[in-house]
Amino acid sequence: MKKILLGLLLLASSCTVQKINKSLTKSDVFDKGHLGFMLLDPENDKVLVDINSDKYFIPASNTKLFTFYTSYSVLGDGLVNGLNYLERGDSLIFWGTGDPSFLHPDLKNQVALDFLKKSSKQLFLLDNFDQVNAFGPGWAWDWYNAYYATERSAFPIYGNVVRFNYSEGDQYFSINPEWFKPFVAAVKTENWKSFNFKRDRYQNHFSYQFTEKPDLKPFETDIPFVTSAELTAAMLSKLLETKVTLLKNNRLLSSEPKKLLTAPADSIYSQMMKISDNFLAEQLMLLVSDQLTNSLSTSDAIAYSKENLLADLPDEPFWYDGSGLSARNMFTPRTVVALLGKIRAEVPLEKIKAYFPAGGSSGTIRNWYAPDPGQEPYVYAKTGTLSMSNALSGFLFTKSGKILHFSCIMNNYAISSNDLKTELQKVLYFIHDKY
């Protein structure tokens, strides 16, 4: 009797897998581009679905899974190093570690600022800005005005953005930091019903379009500013109400510094993963590099991770930046699934749920993959979106109590991302409901 029951269960499971395969391979939507998909039952180490899982795809922000794992492995979940410094007589010499939290408009960390304020020594900002390119390899030049391509830098301040904010009841919109107020100009435009903010390509001159009586609704817009060591020293001088002198001395950069712990890594991971924050992802890789070598190099951090943390993946990652903005990044779905296994083995499940977007609930999938009414989210996964790529990879909870690992990467689709998500939503819910 037991053998018959087991046979029936295996037959039902096999039929379910066949239906999942058919929903992917016989879909009029997925047939319009290149699909890579893998579904793994880790409890039994069994691959349930495999469609082109050994092929390389552009992963877009699925790259942040690699950034997260590398950062979590090297930095942990405690406080990150927010400042390197040396004390030389009556001088305090400090420089950036890539920490994105310093006065970030969302993270609002002031530990380093308070540390500098309390110092009675002369302050010197050691210039290590040339260690970091503002844009990553393969990024498009015309992204300079978009938050998703905020400049990377050695010493971020205010998240390297100007935030324009309007709340209902305010007389006017606010500009933060106020440093940039003198560099914001209005351009009146007929028939314009809202505000539109832009920055000059090469300098920190901002403009906004408006009408005499715009249909003003609450908004929050972040526009990147052009970073430099000189600007950072000047802004710090104003904030600290004391002179911060810019110092160029490569010999000092090779010194072994003291390190100031600042922001909780947990808060950076959560925001980076949930809203797919490219800036935080890029800066995390610089923090990794600083932790390893006291210098800032995304490529060095990636090389370390590939050699020491990811050498057991089935296919070598072609990995170039922290965020996934670069179209040079290429991963296979089976490598992403293997990485998810490493994350699951080393990161507590409650932290995974806290960091990852949750279907129907939070982050970039709050409007997708909703659970049945009154039920917990069944998808915790990282999205990825570029003009040529749409991806979703993560953990799928089934009604039978299993936690499956999956990666779906779709490239070169000449249809809307909503069409792809709608089709994938059907597939994932079927797995959740039936497997």
- Bridge partners of 165, per DSSP, are 174, 220
Which residues face 122 on adjacent strands? Answer: 91
Confidence at 9, pLDDT banded by 50, 70, 90: very low
Which one-letter amino acid corresponds to residue 58? I
- HSE-CB of 253 using CA atoms within 13 angstroms: 19
Task: Quote the percentage of the chain above a pLDDT of 70.
Answer: 96
Split at pLDDT 50, 70, 90, the class of 8 is: very low
pLDDT digits 0-9 by tens, 16-37: 889 998 989 999 999 999 999 9
Mean pLDDT of the chain: 94
Q: Which amino acid is at 361?
A: S
pLDDT in tens, 370-414: 999 999 999 999 999 999 899 999 999 999 999 999 999 999 999
Burial 234-251 (b: 16+ CB within 10 A, else e): ebbbebeeeebebbeeee
pLDDT confidence band for 14 (50 / 70 / 90): confident
pLDDT in tens, 127-150: 999 999 999 999 999 999 999 999
pLDDT greater than 90 at residue 6: no
Q: How far is 404 from 402, CA to CA, in rounded Å?
A: 6
Q: Which residues contact 214 (CB under 8 A, 6 or more apart)?
A: 192, 193, 194, 195
How much is the average pLDDT of 251-258? Answer: 95
What is the rounded distance in angstroms from the CA atom of residue 21 to the CA atom of residue 13?
12
The arithmetic mean of pLDDT across residues 265-286, rounded, is: 98
Tell me the mean pLDDT in the region 333-348: 98
Higher pLDDT, 211 or 327: 327
Confidence of residue 63 (pLDDT cuts 50, 70, 90): very high
Q: Tell me the pLDDT band of 15, cut-offs 50, 70 and 90.
A: confident
Domains and CATH numbers, the chain: 2-59+330-434 (3.40.710.10), 80-264 (no CATH)
Summarised one tens digit per residue, pLDDT across range 175-219 is: 999 999 999 998 887 776 678 899 999 999 999 987 766 667 889
Residue 13: pLDDT band by 50, 70, 90 thresholds? low
Calculate helix-pair angle for 278-293, 63-75, nearest 10 degrees. Answer: 40
Angle at 379 between CA 75 and CA 365, to 5 degrees: 80
Q: Which residues contact 33 (CB under 8 A, 6 or more apart)?
A: 410, 411, 412, 413, 414, 415
